[in-house]
Amino acid sequence: MTDTPQLLQNEFNSFIKSAWEKANFDQLTDIQEQSIPAILNGKDVLAESPTGTGKTLAYLLPLLQRIDPEKKALQALILAPSRELVMQIYEEFQKWSEGSGIQGTSLIGGANVKRQLEKLKKRPQVIVGSPGRIEELIKQKKLKMHDVKMIVLDEGDQLLLPEYQRTISSIIKSTLSDRQLILFSATLKEATIQKASELMKNPEVFHVTKSASSAKVEHIYFTGEARNKIDVLKKLSRLKNMHGLVFVKDIWELTGLAEKLRYHDIPAGELHSEAKKEERKKAIKAFEAGELPLLLATDVAARGLDLKDITHVIHYNFPETITQYVHRSGRTGRLGSDSGTVVSLVNEREERELKQFAREMNHPLHKKTWYSGEIVDPR
């Protein structure tokens, strides 16, 4: 049994301490240690921390602490940009609220509305939802917001993009002015900070920079022409215990790549915006069960996905920015994982950019080649 950190011992209810011991965690992460006290004190918070650093618990633990189980009304709302992320957050809520008497539910677009209205009759105190469905239910007066004391925007940089911004503002304005607003994101651009600050009251801002550049994650690359990338990917797929997330720039290239891999008897899942919900769920389930060595994804489709035990992140198409590189790469070597490998498939020009990324992030980068089906250093 691990020791419960002092902050949890002093500030939190017994059900949270029990869940912490059950999870067998050793200590709070940097973002949790920094942001939890501010959230407990009712402050508006803007927090940036890379993928895999424990952002969900950084807001979920103080949120649960501040819920009154005796009050049968909606008190906290968590918004996320994708169905998958909503469901992942809701699973975490269920795990950490066990034994608390706090009721919660999830509300997502595309699901049966009548069934969701039945859920609301149980008067949940916490709702995790997608913005469109939440706004729809507020407008229909099915969702009462006057007791909401806390709103969380998970992947907040996405939720404040133009396509969501009006909906988010509408939801926030449906609450009373004394509510607390919290935004978490893997990346916080100046434009996001500006937009969020307009909705907040003197927010406290936290930046945590630890990323996939930590020692347990190895960054390697292979050079070659575009036509040779598939050969490298085929070899990678055959590595022992390969569990790789492959980033491809667009749907057209992704579906073509999946077809080529299948032609070579290499099964690969597909995650992109045009895939049906059932197809996405099936691909994720098969990948997590170890039935597929590779899961091909666009950046948008992978946003917010919390996939367990990814051994390799593979940049099949080189990222456009260092932020995109960090965000993708953070999928491996995550909290609780022993190690991971980030693989970039690059041409000569991209190799120069990759080396610049490595210098800026201050992490080692190694060029590799193949010998007898194994990854080796060039001779």
Beta-bridged to residue 295, according to DSSP, are 245, 269
What pLDDT, on the 0 to 100 scale, is given for residue 213? Answer: 43
Q: How far from 60 is each of 49, 125, 232, 284, 349, CA to CA, in Å?
A: 15, 13, 41, 24, 43
What pLDDT score does 27 carry? 81
Amino acid at 240: K
**Coil, strand or helix: which one is 128?**
strand
CB 124 within 8 A of CB 103: yes
Predicted confidence band at 41 (pLDDT cuts at 50, 70, 90)? very high
Strands (E) across 186-315 are located at 204-207, 217-223, 244-247, 268-271, 294-297, 312-315
pLDDT at residue 334 in the model: 62
Is 145 found in the same domain as 68? yes
pLDDT at residue 212 greater than cutoff 50: no
- Interval 125-148: pLDDT, tens: 999 999 999 999 999 999 999 999
Q: Are residue 272 and residue 352 in the same domain, yes or no? A: yes
Residue 147: exposed, middle, or buried by beta-carbon count in 10 A (0-12, 13-18, 19+)? middle
Task: Specify the pLDDT at position 180.
Answer: 97
> For residue 170, is pLDDT > 50?
yes
* Residue 1: band (very low, low, confident or very high) from pLDDT cuts 50, 70, 90: very low
In the chain, the largest separation of any two C-alpha atoms, in whole Å, equals: 69
Average pLDDT value over all residues in the chain: 88
At 233, is the pLDDT very low, low, confident or very high (cuts 50, 70, 90)? very high
Say if residue 170 is in the same domain as residue 143: yes
From residue 47, give the alpha-carbon distance in Å to each of 81, 188, 321. Answer: 17, 8, 21
Q: Enter the pTM of the model.
A: 0.69
Burial 313-338 (b: 16+ CB within 10 A, else e): bbbbbbbeeeeebbbbbbbbbbeeee
Look up the CATH number of the domain holding residue 248. 3.40.50.300
Lowest mean pLDDT among 49-53, 66-70, 172-176, 342-346: 49-53
Query: Within this chain, do residues 261 and 194 fall inside the same structural domain, yes or no?
Result: no
**Structural domains of the chain, count:** 2
The parent domain of residue 13 ranges over: 6-207
Same domain, 69 and 190: yes
End position of a domain, from candidates 207, 226, 241: 207
196: pLDDT strictly greater than 70: yes
- Same-domain status, 340 and 289: yes
pLDDT tens for residues 312-324? 999 999 998 887 8
Encode pLDDT of 75-113 as tens digits.
999 999 888 788 889 989 999 999 999 999 999 887 788
Q: Does 224 share its domain with 98?
A: no
Residues 231 and 141 in one domain: no
297 in the same domain as 224 = yes
Spacing of C-alpha 86 from chain mean position: 10
Task: Give 225-231 contacts, CB < 8 A, sequence gap 24+.
Answer: 225/347, 226/347, 229/316, 229/345, 230/257, 230/260, 230/261
In this structure, are 283 and 320 located in the same domain?
A: yes
Please tell me whether residues 199 and 69 are part of one structural domain.
yes
- Which residue is it, tokens 């667009």? 250
